[in-house]
Chains A and B, each alone.
Chain A
């Protein structure tokens, strides 16, 4: 692995908010390499969003080190911002353009892309996310799922190398959820884009991440490992987290001596059980 492959590196980060609330993100070092899909998990108030904001350069650490693409993002934000796309927790607050088309075009035009290139890229994103029919709609008339797709299009349109997703599918209906998950899968398979996400839904973690960091209440990064290992080999209850129902089922069946493979893939498990 070369130094260029390290996309994000965080060491013993501490942040104090105005009013004195301190978030201590010390513990296991946080490191994300090119092409990884990483989930940051933890109970409410553990500092997941704070961590993401540091990666985005929105916050400046009180202590510790944050390096993104080899730079301190809070100090040299202009150097790294074009490499990072982000979908924040509330997509509604992220949509700023007057229409869907203008909103997706927002970042490329700000980053100095030509109007013609911006138009081409916007059209590509509308097509990729299957939201061409929304192009002239005003953001406040979109559904939750549509807003999320538009926000995602706006985050990807300028071709970032790193995608940050803060609770990407919170409050999104089942169909849109499936569509967005499938899109992100394909995006990763096609481009190898690095993704860092936070989420509460453990089923979703299996779909959107290969590795995970688990944070304690109060902020300490406690565990790091493959998602499968985290769900099958650690007691997540102490972090106020529950493994997905599939992992719980496999664990219980194995306790009854079934010796099933430790998998989070429904298809694999169904096939194994079907064969028996």
Chain B
């Protein structure tokens, strides 16, 4: 899953972009989206894309990861383009460049900003309840991933995943996921208890640090 890799890069990076406040980066992202959606021309898309990649190179960000993440949405764009009749390169180019530029802008934000920082910044415009739910999901992702990995390992070790027997494999997969779900439900109960004990009042606060 991309999330863990992205999270690690965002947390461990030390570039200037990493140090830039999340709110500023989100505003810039909104600006880039607005520009690219307003002026849907090749020069605008191409120059934005070039500027973003130059910035990434200048900030010494992992360009291979950036490329991998940016190319993912292109796969889905390709599915759409398969459905196009009389597709020409000249016709597809603006769309492809625009998608590349927009995705690069989003991925650049992700590689240089921790998820908590993004959620905290979003907290200024979104209701606190929704932001709190995002924080919970983020924590739960890391707590639950171990359970899912264990279930996967158990299935592999006990030959539960064999595509020569697809029906049995799907059933085994379902049963293993049900076990993880049971763990998840129990985890949610314990998390609720922990929240109660710690005086939870429906929001997660983030404190500005002393200078």
Contacts and interface: CB of A to CB of B under 8 A. Distances in A.
Interface of A: 53, 56, 58, 77, 81-82, 84, 86, 88, 90, 92-99, 101-102, 105-107, 109-111, 115, 118-119, 122, 138-141, 154
A117 to B, nearest CB: 11
B191 A58 contact: no
A37 B11 CA distance: 40
Contact of A93 (B143, B208, B210): B143
23 contacts: A58-B193, A81-B196, A81-B197, A81-B199, A88-B190, A93-B191, A95-B139, A96-B136, A96-B139, A96-B194, A98-B120, A98-B135, A99-B116, A101-B209, A102-B116, A102-B206, A107-B198, A110-B205, A111-B199, A118-B207, A119-B209, A138-B7, A154-B198
Contacts of B142: 139-140
B170 to A, nearest CB: 29
Given A88-B193, A99-B116, A119 B143 contact: no
Contact of B205 (A53, A81, A88, A105): A105
Interface in B121-155: 135-136, 138-139, 142-143
Interface string B17-46: 000000000000000000000000000000
B77 interface: no
A81 B201 CA distance: 13
A221 to B, nearest CB: 22
A81 B206 CA distance: 22
B197 A84 contact: yes
B188 to A, nearest CB: 10
B197 A110 contact: no
A94 B207 contact: no
B107 interface: no
Nearest to A88: B194
Contacts of A122: 207
A94 B194 contact: yes
Given A93-B191, A96-B194, A99-B116, A109 B205 contact: yes
Interface of B: 7, 11, 114, 116, 119-120, 135-136, 138-139, 142-143, 187, 190-191, 193-201, 204-210
A68 to B, nearest CB: 13
Nearest to A84: B197
Given A93-B143, A95-B139, A140-B142, A102 B205 contact: yes
Contacts, number: 87
B209 A58 contact: no
A95 B194 CA distance: 9
Contacts of B119: 98
A101 B207 contact: yes
A53 B193 contact: yes
Contacts of A109: 205, 207
A93 B204 contact: no
Contacts of A110: 198-201, 205
B194 A115 contact: no
Given A110-B198, A115-B208, 12 more contacts: A56-B193, A58-B197, A84-B197, A88-B197, A92-B143, A96-B198, A102-B206, A106-B198, A109-B207, A110-B201, A119-B209, A138-B114
A93 B199 contact: no
B23 to A, nearest CB: 15
A175 to B, nearest CB: 23
B207 A102 contact: yes
Contacts of B138: 98
Given A81-B199, A93-B187, A110-B200, A105 B114 contact: no
A77 B197 CA distance: 9
B182 to A, nearest CB: 13
A98 B197 contact: no
Contacts of B194: 88, 93-94, 96
Nearest to B187: A93
Given A88-B193, A119-B210, A107 B11 contact: no
Contacts of B196: 58, 77, 81
